Chain A
Amino acid sequence: MLKTLVEAFALISTWEVIIAMFAASVYGLVIGSLPGLSATMATALLVPVTFYLSPIAAIATIVAASSMAIFSGDIPGALLRIPGTPASAAYADEAYAMTRKGQAELALGAGVWFSAVGGIAGVLSLMILAPPLAEIALSFSTFEYFWLALLGLMCATLVARSSPVKAIAGMFLGLLVSCIGIENPGGVPRFTFGITDLFGGIEPIPALVGVFAVAQVMRAMLTPEPPPLPRRKFGSIMAGQWKLTKQYHWQMTRGNIVGIIIGVLPGAGADMAAWVSYAMSKRFSKEPEKFGTGHVEGLVEAGASNNASIASGWVPSLLFGIPGDTIAAIAIGVLYMKGLNPGPTLFTEKASSMYAIYLMFIIANILMIPLGIAMIRVAAYILLAPRSTVMPIIMLCCAVGSFAIGNNMFGVVTVAAFGVIGYVMEANGYPVAAMVLGIVMGTMVEQAFVTSLIKSDGSILPFFERPVSAILAAMAIGALLWPVMVWVWRKVKPVQTAAATIR
């Protein structure tokens, strides 16, 4: 244990890792603070750069950039009422109300402080949960993996704030995309239409960049520019945070725990954690009437929650290769590329790398406090950059980055195509996150499904016979039927109340 810890320290204390981490932190803070550029997009655009780094430095950039971007989305939320990332949308109104009351420092300080605390709580959960789960996961067969993957996909459709039918359709679209290529049980070209470039299949990373970055530039073409930030002088940002921590320690802990649970659930990420925690905070608050008028309590809980989910989202990613959210989906792609294939054995064979990941998460969250404060102070200048200068650079990065992944132009075509697909889907209420998870997990789902079918000689019964797989199957089917139950309940309830009034 101590030896691996020392090894882990040695792994991360190289100049490459330190510089990569610092640069990625600044990058994440800047991208996260610009309205419309999400944390997922920041991470996706970073992937081509990670190609050229050592494995640990590559993961360091992803860890640092994603944690920073989630916090930094709070800045325009509080100052402009425009959330920088979807994860800050839940409480942007509240934070802006505080700014109007003259408490911008307190709101932003709470953002930094409770994000850092939440992030560290998330890492602790990763350290505590992952090893025992890895023990259990070692006994999993393809049946369990199939249901686990299906459960992940179902959770992703459940938490989408849209029609569940459309979310499931999006998931199927993603799975269909993953069918393209010759990497299938028969090794035959499937859905390639004779195009050689399609033989290798659709790479998840260009698809992600297209769906999250190009589609965003497309939307920017049609939406008005956000208003410029009024310049202001900030007082002390960290003043009063310790008092808040003592006053709202229970809310903070609850936010951490909810964030960790939502992060571990495959498919549900930081934005969901923030929404749930904010709602929970309001529901259980002693002073719910203050919510919406610039009350810090909800900010504490939701801020603690969304950053906790970032680290705990790595639990299913590292153990099963099932992403906890879209950022983890990108991280999985990088892990595979760097020879750190996700799976339970990772924790025994590459233990020092795992410890290095934990350490980097902790360092990133500590680093967030000074860098975050500096970012808040310069935010007014960064937000002066008009969209017409930021978006062209994003476009260039999309083109060069997608080219760099395979050093061929087909990647750029993929990015353009998925930009259009993502834009059309988003505009029509189909959640893109569900499709992305389908693309990332498709090959794994198919492999588990077909191998299981071959083992069972075409029979479906063995899918339910093993105890763990039966439990997972029940959960997955329950997740599928959940919207139906909600729908029935909504239909029945008005009838009951109507009957009651008649009586």
Chain B
Amino acid sequence: MSGIADSTLEPSDIDLKEIVDQVWESYLDPDGTAPLVLTGTVPEKFDATGSISITGPWHGHVVVATSLGAATGAAAAFLAMEPDEVSEEDVADALGELVNIIGGNVKSMLPPGCLLALPHVVVATGAVSRWPGATRICELCGQWRGEPVCISLWHEKREG
């Protein structure tokens, strides 16, 4: 079994890593030459964040936070273009799709009946997505092509 704790049924770092690895293998590093190298170091600020909410029996958010370089690199890899050909709109769309794919796979490990919202992207230096009252339950932070990338999963306790 993968590292799902019986009591909470919440994904672990190991589960999140497995999902992220598959996204990298499919789109961002198909040749296996540019993996996401986990360092555990959280940079002070990011230039872009993509987030997606999961609602229902379990409520929370998946967040991908990156430098502009990493977000542009991701868009270029997705679109099979050179980084200097990528528009700002491409970057936002690609980051949204990235968090959408990770979010959907995270949702499949949560209690049945959860819904995936549409992604939300903010491109602005220092921008951080925060949800008061939400707790971070897993986080993968590292470097991709020398640029910072952090992927985290947040759980929000909701009454009723």
Q: Do A and B interact with each other, yes or no?
A: no
